Amino acid sequence: MPTTQTREVTAAKRLDNVRYAIRDLACVADEVIQQGHRVLALNVGDPLNFDFQTPPHIVEAAYKAMREGKNGYAPSPGIAEALEAIRGEAARKGITTVRDVFVTSGVSETVDLCISALVNPGEDILTPKPDYPLYSAVLCKLGIAVNAYDLNEEDAWQPELADIARKVTPRTRAIVLINPNNPTGSLCSRQMLEQIAELARRHNLVVFSDEIYDKLVFDNEKPEDTPHIAFAAVAPDVPCITFGGMSKNYLVPGWRIGWGIVSGDAAAIKPYTEGIHRLLRARLCANHPEQYAIKPALEGPQDHLIEVRRKLRSRRDLTQKWCEATPRVSCVAPRGAFYAFPRIDIPESDEVFVKELIRQKHVMVVHGSGFGQKAGTQHFRIVFLPDEKTLTAAYAGIADFIGERFP
């Protein structure tokens, strides 16, 4: 008789701290849905769940590629016409020292590849706090300690330079910027980018500039009034990987099409770039037919962005007014992306707050501690993609919950 294995198969210890708060809350929501309630979900940043549609010419480009048999493996870095289009996009962003570009399965893979190709055991990278939880998840997966620097809520969520300087060590290899920021919706000023560039030069750091929301800036009616500033345009000499993709700007998050733009001093960045390409080859390629939509997206009509920004501006304004009018809530006004990160003055943890909010009012937001926050503060993240009627109903539910729970 064969021996039966009864010993439990445990997961790797390095995964103990891997959390993804945005989707982990779905378990609580499922309980509420099974009880027959409808949950107003303000937790996932997917525009296609709401009244946004993918531009038809982009869909047609991918469909045409499939019909024409572009369904096998692609070159590991990406197809030629996509790479050329990304280089053109880099030029439009003012990046003048492009050394390489490559296509990935969403920016999530760009992050994973670039960190994996750079950081050795015992080294670290600086990540913002709050931040998008993918970064800490990748670091935990690799067994690398999280070294988080604060964003300053009192200064419109700009990076806190003094905190960065305190946390740089001889083992620090890179600094992450998320600009526009998820979860706060903040934008880095040119002066801040210049100061971070100087810090990177002084400590020989690579900069990972996550700019996936760079076309979703909506402070004023005219986009040129509040332009997004690419880090690599401000610091052409600093080794930098600019993260971009189609998910948010072009409303195709499910396609998983992202890219990296490598810039900086050619000699300095060359060995690292070769390391990235070894990993690109090892994973074969990104989605092939969807790559044929990159050039039409970047070089074709951009009309959809006008309407997207109009909707986001209106919904941001509604969100901000609600925050200002609601007791115990305050918020730094978002300037880009589609997130707000209100601060809430409550005597319990924000995780308890959001879970009870789902159970009692059937509204789902994400606890600020899921993104990281300064000790002694409580926040929650709102995705303000839904239409104004839906947002108004959700905000009324949150206000009622606050008033009932903290009279």
Convert the pLDDT of each residue in 347-404 to its tens digit: 999 999 999 999 999 999 999 999 999 989 999 999 999 999 999 999 999 999 999 9
**From CA 379, how far away is CA 331, in angstroms rounded?**
9
User: So what's the pLDDT on residue 325?
Assistant: 97
> Peptide bond before 301: cis, by omega within 30 degrees of 0?
no
pLDDT value at 256 more than 50 = yes
CA torsion angle 200 201 202 205 (round to 10): 40
Residue with tokens 């903290």, as numbered in its chain: 406
For residue 149, CA distances in Å to 116, 124, 126, 127, 276 come to 20, 12, 6, 6, 26
User: So what's the pLDDT on residue 1?
Assistant: 59
Question: Checking DSSP bridges between strand 147-152 and strand 158-159, what pairing results, if any?
Answer: antiparallel
Q: Which two tokens stand for residue 168?
A: 């740089």
Left (φ > 0), alpha (ψ -120 to 50) or beta: where does 374 sit?
A: beta
User: So what's the pLDDT on residue 9?
Assistant: 83
**What architecture is domain 13-52+303-405?**
Alpha-Beta Complex (3.90)
Whether the Cβ atoms of residue 253 and residue 247 lie closer than 8 Å to each other: yes
More confident residue, 369 or 19: 369
Type and span of the H or E element at 102: strand 98-104
**From CA 52, how far away is CA 29, in angstroms rounded?**
24
More confident residue, 28 or 95: 95
pLDDT level of residue 12 (50, 70, 90 thresholds): confident
Whether the Cβ atoms of residue 378 and residue 345 lie closer than 8 Å to each other: yes
Question: What average pLDDT does this structure show over 329-347?
Answer: 96
Q: Which two tokens stand for residue 259?
A: 């890219």
User: So what's the pLDDT on residue 223?
Assistant: 47
Which are the contacts of 60, defined by CB distance < 8 A and separation ≥ 6?
Answer: none
Average pLDDT, the chain: 93
Q: Which two tokens stand for residue 314?
A: 């209106």
CA torsion angle 105 109 111 114 (round to 10): -100
Lowest mean pLDDT among 20-34, 41-55, 291-305, 392-406: 20-34
**From CA 12, how far away is CA 31, in angstroms rounded?**
29
pLDDT value at 5 more than 70 = no
Type and span of the H or E element at 40: strand 40-41
Packing angle between helix 303-325 and helix 388-405, nearest 10 degrees? 20
Q: Does domain 56-299 have CATH number 3.40.640.10?
A: yes
User: So what's the pLDDT on residue 28?
Assistant: 85
Return the domain boundaries, the chain.
Answer: 13-52+303-405, 56-299
Left (φ > 0), alpha (ψ -120 to 50) or beta: where does 159 sit?
A: beta
Task: Give me the percent of the chain exceeding a pLDDT of 70.
Answer: 95
Task: Enter the pTM of the model.
Answer: 0.94
**From CA 132, how far away is CA 139, in angstroms rounded?**
12
CA torsion angle 266 241 146 280 (round to 10): -90
Question: Checking DSSP bridges between strand 329-330 and strand 339-340, what pairing results, if any?
Answer: unpaired
| Count of CA atoms in the C-beta half-sphere (13 A) of 346 | 26
How long, in residues, is the chain?
407
DSSP secondary-structure letter at 185? -
Convert the pLDDT of each residue in 268-280 to its tens digit: 999 999 999 999 9
Whether the Cβ atoms of residue 241 and residue 261 lie closer than 8 Å to each other: yes
**From CA 30, how far away is CA 25, in angstroms rounded?**
9
